């Protein structure tokens, strides 16, 4: 405790330390998975759906005001999500960059042919992080049979509701901010919910875990995270592991193995399994053995697709992409 107090006193006593933000660290924070601001403001603050920040000359207090009390559609972020010191660091990094001539395109652009609920979803910024078809929440909702009241909590009181909805991974931050009821009205949010629930339909919540087993054998577990009696069952499931360049499949185990074939979508050979159904809490275990290890762990990857339930309108592009986790550092 004494040492801590002494360290604080030292920090306070040396304003130079507090006033020289680490620009390289601020850049890597912006680029990291802990902040998704870049989805709206661009990889180097060049702007997209959100205004450009590079070279604009905003002060740290203007920056802070915009993040804590945004005046428009931007959600508000708490000090646990981004600290005042981190904001000061980002201000310094953006001040060191040249002003951009032209902002970048939105990651998911608004289109006139979109249904109303989807238009609200894109224009309120959700699509910049969740993609055109709201895949991740539709799966979390499908897996848990979520109602509109829960969605409201998750959007307006995100930072308090989210940890109750799903256990937070240790060391990771919540990257979505708290939306304002004044900017995103409840009726707009209801339109989004109805679009996701009625037009598209909720998705089963499937997760794949691909890890090294022994030698060049890799274990793949596919789990349905849904709650029994509430969650959705995936039917006619196709699981593909893309064979990395230079390797061949020497063995494979698990129900429904169909062998290796050329796949158009993967633009290469895939090892394929077909499983009739994966119900909530089911875990399906597979292994694949390669002639040689992939160059990088994440080069070994694949997809899960299922025939039902699919989107009620539009093409069925529902997919879960997975890759081998790099070893923990």
Of the candidate spans 51-59, 244-252, 272-280, 307-315, the one that interacts with ligand HEC by CB under 6 A turns out to be 51-59
> Which H helix or E strand runs over 313?
none
Among 82, 88, 222, 275, binds ligand HEC (CB under 6 A): 82
> Which H helix or E strand runs over 289?
strand 283-290
The residue written with tokens 């793949």 in the block is 220
**What is the rounded CA–CA span in Å between residue 137 and residue 204?**
11
At residue 81, the 3 state secondary structure works out as coil
Check residue 264 and report its DSSP letter: T
119: tokens are: 């238009």
Q: Does 73 bind ligand HEC (CB under 6 A)?
A: yes
Q: Rounded to the nearest whole angstrom, what is the least distance from the CB of residue 149 to ligand HEC in the complex?
A: 12
Among 43, 72, 110, 285, binds ligand HEC (CB under 6 A): 72
Q: Interface residues for ligand HEC in 167-206 (CB under 6 A)?
A: 174-176, 179, 184, 192
Q: Of 92, 91, 77, which is closest to residue 35 (Cα–Cα)?
A: 77
Q: Rounded to the nearest whole angstrom, what is the least distance from the CB of residue 329 to ligand HEC in the complex?
A: 21
On whether the CB atoms of residues 29 and 86 are closer than 8 A, the answer is yes
Of 166 and 255, which has the nearer Cβ to ligand HEC?
166
Among 26, 44, 124, 303, binds ligand HEC (CB under 6 A): 124
Q: Does 266 bind ligand HEC (CB under 6 A)?
A: no
Check residue 327 and report its DSSP letter: P
Of 53 and 320, which has the nearer Cβ to ligand HEC?
53
Q: Rounded to the nearest whole angstrom, what is the least distance from the CB of residue 143 to ligand HEC in the complex?
A: 10
Q: Does 74 bind ligand HEC (CB under 6 A)?
A: yes
Q: Does 36 bind ligand HEC (CB under 6 A)?
A: yes
> Which H helix or E strand runs over 302?
strand 301-308
Of 86 and 272, which has the nearer Cβ to ligand HEC?
86
Q: Of 131, 170, 138, 169, which is closest to residue 154 (Cα–Cα)?
A: 138
CA distances from 166 to 49, 161, 171 (A): 28, 9, 15
Q: Does 25 bind ligand HEC (CB under 6 A)?
A: no
Sign of the Cα pseudo-torsion (269, 275, 277, 282, in order): negative
The residue number with the shortest CB distance to ligand HEC is 72
Number of alpha carbons in the 13 Å side-chain half-sphere of residue 163: 8
Of 70 and 254, which has the nearer Cβ to ligand HEC?
70
On whether the CB atoms of residues 133 and 149 are closer than 8 A, the answer is no
On whether the CB atoms of residues 60 and 88 are closer than 8 A, the answer is yes
Among 27, 40, 93, 324, binds ligand HEC (CB under 6 A): 40
Q: Rounded to the nearest whole angstrom, what is the least distance from the CB of residue 20 to ligand HEC in the complex?
A: 20
Q: How many residues does the chain have?
A: 329
Among 130, 144, 203, 284, binds ligand HEC (CB under 6 A): 130
Q: Rounded to the nearest whole angstrom, what is the least distance from the CB of residue 168 to ligand HEC in the complex?
A: 8
Of 174 and 324, which has the nearer Cβ to ligand HEC?
174
The contact set with ligand HEC (CB under 6 A) reads 35-37, 39-41, 49-51, 53, 58, 63, 66-67, 70-74, 77, 82, 124-126, 128-130, 136-137, 140, 151, 154-155, 162, 166, 174-176, 179, 184, 192
């Amino acid at each position: 405790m004494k040492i801590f107090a002494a360290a604080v006193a030292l920090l306070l006593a040396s304003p130079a330390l507090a006033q020289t933000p680490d620009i390289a660290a601020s850049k890597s924070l912006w680029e990291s998975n802990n902040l998704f601001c870049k989805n709206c403001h661009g990889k180097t603050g060049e702007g997209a759906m959100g205004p450009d920040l590079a070279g604009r000359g905003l002060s740290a207090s203007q920056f802070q005001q915009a993040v804590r009390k945004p005046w428009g559609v931007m959600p508000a972020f708490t000090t646990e999500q981004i600290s005042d010191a981190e904001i000061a660091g980002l201000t310094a990094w953006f001040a060191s960059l040249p002003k951009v001539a032209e902002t970048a395109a939105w990651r998911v652009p608004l289109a006139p042919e979109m249904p109303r609920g989807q238009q609200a979803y894109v224009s309120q910024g959700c699509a910049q992080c969740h993609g055109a078809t709201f895949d991740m929440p539709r799966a979390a909702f499908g897996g848990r049979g979520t109602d509109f009241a829960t969605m409201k909590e998750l959007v307006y009181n995100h930072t308090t509701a989210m940890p109750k909805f799903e256990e937070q991974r240790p060391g990771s931050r919540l990257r979505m901010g708290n939306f304002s009821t004044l900017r995103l009205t409840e009726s707009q949010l209801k339109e989004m919910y109805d679009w996701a629930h009625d037009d598209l339909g909720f998705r089963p919540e499937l997760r794949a875990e691909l890890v090294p087993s022994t030698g060049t054998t890799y274990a793949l577990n596919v789990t349905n995270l849904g709650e029994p009696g509430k969650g959705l069952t995936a039917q006619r499931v196709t699981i593909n592991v893309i064979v990395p360049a230079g390797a061949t499949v020497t063995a494979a185990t698990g129900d429904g193995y169909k062998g290796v074939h050329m796949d158009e979508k993967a633009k290469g050979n895939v090892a394929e399994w077909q499983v009739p159904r994966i119900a909530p809490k089911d875990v399906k275990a597979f292994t694949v053995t390669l002639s040689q290890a992939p160059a990088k762990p994440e080069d070994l990857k694949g997809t899960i697709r299922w025939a039902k339930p699919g989107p009620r309108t539009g093409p069925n592009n529902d997919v879960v992409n997975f890759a081998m986790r790099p070893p923990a550092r």
